[in-house]
Structure 1
Amino acid sequence: MEIATKELTGKVALVTGGTKGIGKAIADELKGLGATVIISARRRPDANPEHAFIAADLTKPEDNKQLAEKIIKEYGALDILINNVGGTSAPAGGFSVLSDQDWENDLQLNLLAAVKLDRALVPLMIERNTGVVIHISSLNGKLPLYASNFSYGVTKAALNNYSKALANELASKGIRVITVSPGMVKTTAMENFLQSYGSSIGKNLDETAQLVMDSLGGVPLNRLAQPEEIAHLIGFLVSPKASYITGSNVVIDGGTIPTVY
């Protein structure tokens, strides 16, 4: 669908993990709204990316630093930062199967990657007294699932708290900070997770997806979200239409959470 307005014309946006899934959908959405979009990921995709691409493994301090330096050198400013990188490779099975390395990996990917990149790039926004930072969290940060992704949910909860604290600090400096917590989204990463979890409990992909939805208390819309549905929300949140929204954790979960809290 063609986006009628170009509300982000003249804005520079960075989307981490922007080569596939939710990240790619967000990058495409922001470009459609007129922004100059930069994407980062560990590896360049097989096909030429549609947006400016900078390779970076954000769990590595040197890559974080180099990404920020390249953006400063090539663009001179950053208006929108989408911290989308996240995920887990930790095994299912609860707390007792998680090693120190499992915890360290999830902390680096789901919390500290965003912390370090914010520290490198938010000063550009402070200098200009304007900017928007979005942290892509997860429903599991509010509704943890101990059996399937224990450490992932815990680290996303930490990201939620960090994002709120940062929002409070930066509000007076003209910068909005917002958390977005998707529920289950139809991506390759989600499919890989469901296949891995399903194989550990002897269920196929559809059975595992239903099991996870049921373990969350059910999804009233009874389906997974499409990445574009998350991206449309992000497009609104970074636009002038959302100028009074900061410090919020916006849940987009098909109605899973039964009450607001």
Structure 2
Amino acid sequence: MEQQFNFNNELSGKIALVTGGTKGTGRAIAERLLQAGATVIITARNEPEAPNKDLHFISADLSTPEGTQKVVREVFSQYGKLDILVNNLGGSETPGGGFAVLTDEDWEKSIQTNLLAPVRLDRGFLPRMIDQRSGVIIHITSIQSKLPLYDSTLPYAAAKAGLANYSKSLSNEVAPKGVRVLSVSPGWIMTTAAAKMMERIAQSSNSTVEEATEKVLQSLGGIPIGRPAKPEEVAELVGFLVSPRASYLTGTEYVIDGGTIPTI
């Protein structure tokens, strides 16, 4: 008999954690999972600017081992398990100007945030997922893992490339144990963080924000669909991938970039 799904309540009874879930794409993902019936926990360093009483907030700096340990400890203490982990936290605060202006600190900060934070969280939550023989882990990577912007986000791109490679390897190990691991690779998403990055590039290059934006578009080769993604569009893809409808999908990177990557 064909399996039937209730899309509006398909995650009922599931416990989900979304990192970087207080704003931007993370917030959109958290709200999408909440709409599907999940109990949703969000974590970030700072409290949400617009609190939602239905999103359970844990304050933590996930770029540190102590921060990830705190989140793992509190999730298990309050909820006893985790069914869905969306490693959305990421970003770049490095200056523009290419490799020569980047310090060891710039590199270390990007790697801690974009690669080691999800690695540590996976290590904390995976054993119980394996014990229950179910769970889904999503790694939010970036098209910069294949199309790096050397002028402004070189460490970020390198860390995301590492995350994509790690994600594929992890999926091969844990899929036979009942846990699905996937990665989602967005292109340019129009968030507050993206706007701030344009401001930094403009400042470092003595140009306007509009000129900096055009420069980034040119470096990407343009976006055929004609605009950046909306956070809600990325959230919709994640909502599908963590659902029972995607039960045969694992080990794959799903690109959502409006056609930016110029390959087949």
**Shorter-chain TM-score tier:** over 0.9
**Separation (CA, whole Å) in 2 of partners of 1:165 and 1:4:** 30
What's the counterpart of residue 3 of structure 2?
Answer: none
Native 8 Å contact 2:143 2:255 kept in 1: yes
- The one-character-per-residue Cα deviations of 1:102-154 (angstroms, maximum 9, x if unpaired) are 10000000000000011011112111000000001111011111112111101
Pair 1:44-2:71 in alignment: no
Q: Would you say the 8 A contact 1:92–1:150 is kept in 2?
A: no
CA distance in 2, matches of 1:4, 1:115: 30
Q: Any idea what SS the aligned residue of 1:148 has? A: coil
Of 23, 29, 33 in structure 1, the residue corresponding to residue 26 of structure 2 is 23
Structure 2: distance between partners of 1:138 and 1:214: 17
CA spacing shift, 1:215–1:119, aligned 2, 3 Å: same
Distance apart, 1:207 and its partner CA: 2.6
Name the amino acid aligned to 1:249: E
Alpha-carbon offset, residue 91 of structure 1? 1.1
Within 5 Å, which residues of 2 pair with 1:80-159? 80-159=84-163
Deviates more, 1:40-49 or 1:55-64: 40-49
Aligned to 1:243: 247
Distance 1:155 1:194 in 2: 20
In structure 2, the residue corresponding to 1:39 is in which secondary structure? strand
Alpha-carbon distance between aligned partners in 2 of 1:65 and 1:105, rounded to the nearest angstrom: 18
Work out whether 1:192 is the aligned partner of 2:196.
yes
Output one character per residue of 1:213-232: Cα deviation in whole Å (capped at 9) or x when no partner.
Answer: 21111110111111000000
Percent of aligned positions that are identical: 53
Asked whether the equivalents of residues 19 and 49 of structure 1 are also in contact (C-alpha less than 8 Å), the reply is no
Structure 2, gaps ≥5 residues long = 1-5
- 3-state SS in 2 of match to 1:7: coil
Distance 2:248 2:263 in 1: 23
1:221 match: 225
Q: Which amino acid aligns with 1:21?
A: G
Cα deviation, 1:176-202, whole Å, max 9, x if unaligned, reads: 101111000010110000111122223
The worse-fitting range, judged by mean Cα deviation, of 86-95 and 126-135 is: 86-95
- Give the Cα–Cα distance (whole angstroms) in 2 for the partners of residues 208 and 147 of structure 1: 11
Deviation at residue 48 of structure 1 after TM alignment: 2.8
For the 8 Å contact 2:22–2:49, the answer to whether it is kept is: no
Q: 1:231 aligns with which of 229, 232, 235?
A: 235
Cα distance, 1:78 vs structure 2: 0.6
**What CA distance in whole angstroms lies between the structure 1 residues aligned with 2:227 and 2:203?**
21
Separation of aligned partners in 1, 2:7 and 2:82: 24
SS of residue matched to 2:152:
helix
DSSP-derived class of the 1:147 partner: coil
C-alpha displacement of 1:49: 3.2
Amino acid at match of 2:241: L
Q: Residues 59-103 of structure 1, C-alpha deviation per residue, up to 9 Å, x if partnerless?
A: 121121111011111111111000011111111111111101110
Q: Is the CA contact (8 Å cut-off) linking 2:96 and 2:151 kept in structure 1?
A: yes
2:14 is the counterpart of 1:11: yes
Kept in 1, the 8 Å contact 2:129–2:135? The answer is yes
- Unaligned segments of structure 1, at least 5 residues: none
Structure 1-normalised TM-score?
0.96
CA RMSD of aligned residues (A): 1.2
| Matched AA of 2:27 | K
